[in-house]
Amino acid sequence: MLPIRVKILILAFFSLAFLLLAITSEYIHVKNNVSDSQESLKVIEEVSLISQLIHSLQKERGLTATHLLSHNKELYNKLIKQRELTDADLKSIYNSSMFFKGEQNLTELIHKIKKTRDSVDSNKASWKMVKDFYSLEIDSLLSTISVELTELGYAKEISHQLYAAICLLKARENLGILRASISRFYETGELSQDDFLDISYKYGAFIDKYDYFEFHIDKTSYKFLKDSLNKESLSTVRAQIVNITREQKALPNTSLTLWWQDVTSIMNSMKEVETIVFQQIKKNSLNTISTNQKHLYWYIVTALIALVLITILTTSTVVRILKALSALISSLNEVERTQDFGLRVHTESKDEFSQLGYSINKLLDYVDQILKEKDTLASIDLLTSVMNRRSFIKIATREIERSNRYENPLSLIFCDIDNFKNINDTYGHNVGDNVLKSFAQAISKNIRKSDFIVRWGGEEFIVLAPQTDKDQATELAENLREIVMNLSIPKIKNLTCSFGVVQIKKDESLEELSNRADKAMFRAKKLGENQVYAAGDDQ
């Protein structure tokens, strides 16, 4: 049978686990709602840009259709200006593209538009080619908008507005094709069977989509549309289209200019309504985001309060059993966090946990001793008992940073025992090791406590002198040179050393500083050894 404390722990664990699971699940759900609303807002913003691009492409198509017939200079200038507006809309979408992943499709569209314009300007394009190209690309953009908008998770009333906006976009597109096709009819005075069928079909599609729009749009936007549309222009345009589809001729007292102005006025009004619809949807989206964010905030606060209260209630039932264990865990966590194995576990209870704490402390004693010995061995050169290169780099890097921060002078002395290879070759490595030990001890005893000596490698040593300028370091190096000359070492006579002295430059690294000191030391060697050479600021 399980001990009572185990049963309590299991009960507490599963209670908290299920509570956390429920809180986390709801939090993810609410957070996803916020993310979805924000993502939907981005989609709506780009749809607005694409809607504007469609409007520009429609205008460009209509002007191109008329230009192909008349080649009027004034009309061509309008076409060029409209192309610039279209390019500006393309650029806006290119800079904030969400739908055109990798911008490959958009780049391809830009290339196609340029190619079509070149064909128009070189008189190689036909009306059918121009109409098919612009219509196909606009239909593709409309399809993109339809797919993106219908996949958004909006409320029912917003979905109606979205669908109404799509219908109005498509109605405007059909009216745009009618504007271009009938403009050509005004220019030529002729209407082919294909043109007749196309105009009839597009007019039917325009009426169909416009009726769908009226059914789904809210009263405020519909009233604005009715007020903004020129009723006389709308009536004239409808009558003109109907007369052309029935009689295949224009109404009296009409012209290309009047036709173009009336249709363009209607299309501009439709575009204004689209803008209002999207603005309403954006406003609703922002309200949804704000509501969801408030919901998320209060949910987090409520969930945290509930979690704290339940945790306190659960903990109070097991605290008497787990108090000692908590003390052990707390102490061990502190050891782990600080990596200080000198800390010890403290327990107040007098039970098995006290014995466990005693055993852990004994283990920490052993680990602490091993780590201290390891750090000591890792930081000194075993032969000379001075600092090794690895530990010196850490200290030197710190001193260089301090020097740069406070703009204090810092110098480095590079020491190399002269003719050390001959000593090893003549007297053997034991004598050579004795020379290195004596040399390191002599240098260590004759530098300040604030200075650092390191065995850099072989017979090379470095002295780092913080808050010491080049002149002071040169004087120190001269003193060390004389001390080395007077060393008494069995079998060795006239031991000498060459010294290179440098002072740190602004923002100079340890590697750069040691390289300059090394060069200065080699300069001392070339000058005849047993020399101190202080490098200038340009060296």
List active site positions: 459
Question: Would you call 343 helix, strand, or coil by DSSP?
Answer: coil
Sequence-separated (6 or more) residues with CB below 8 Å from residue 332: 345, 360
Say if residues 205 and 254 touch (Cβ distance below 8 Å): no
How far is the C-alpha of 334 from the C-alpha of 336, rounded, in Å? 5
Tokens of 62: 């209509």
Sequence-separated (6 or more) residues with CB below 8 Å from residue 230: 262, 265, 266, 269
Ranges of beta strands (E only) in 297-435 are: 410-417
Question: Would you call 420 helix, strand, or coil by DSSP?
Answer: helix
Tokens of 70: 């008349």
Provide the 8-state DSSP code for 319: H
Residue with token string 């209607």: 266
The distance from CA 175 to its chain's CA centroid, rounded to whole angstroms, is 44
Residues in the chain: 539
How far is the C-alpha of 231 from the C-alpha of 244, rounded, in Å? 20
How far is the C-alpha of 265 from the C-alpha of 179, rounded, in Å? 11
Tokens of 507: 């923002």
Say if residues 355 and 340 touch (Cβ distance below 8 Å): no
Say if residues 98 and 42 touch (Cβ distance below 8 Å): yes
Instruction: Identify which of 402, 486, 476 has the alpha carbon closest to the alpha carbon of residue 439.
Output: 486
Say if residues 408 and 466 touch (Cβ distance below 8 Å): yes
| 328: enclosing H helix or E strand | helix 256-338
How far is the C-alpha of 230 from the C-alpha of 292, rounded, in Å? 42
Ranges of beta strands (E only) in 485-529 are: 497-503
Q: Where does residue 219 rank: exposed (0-12), middle (13-18), buried (19+ CB within 10 A)?
A: exposed
How crowded is residue 371: how many other Cβ atoms within 10 Å of its Cβ? Answer: 13
Say if residues 211 and 205 touch (Cβ distance below 8 Å): no
Cα angle 431-433-435, degrees, rounded to a multiple of 5: 70
How far is the C-alpha of 110 from the C-alpha of 90, rounded, in Å? 8
Reduced DSSP (H G I as helix, E B as strand, rest coil) percent helix, strand, coil of the chain, to 5? 75, 5, 20
Question: Would you call 94 helix, strand, or coil by DSSP?
Answer: helix
How far is the C-alpha of 263 from the C-alpha of 173, rounded, in Å? 12
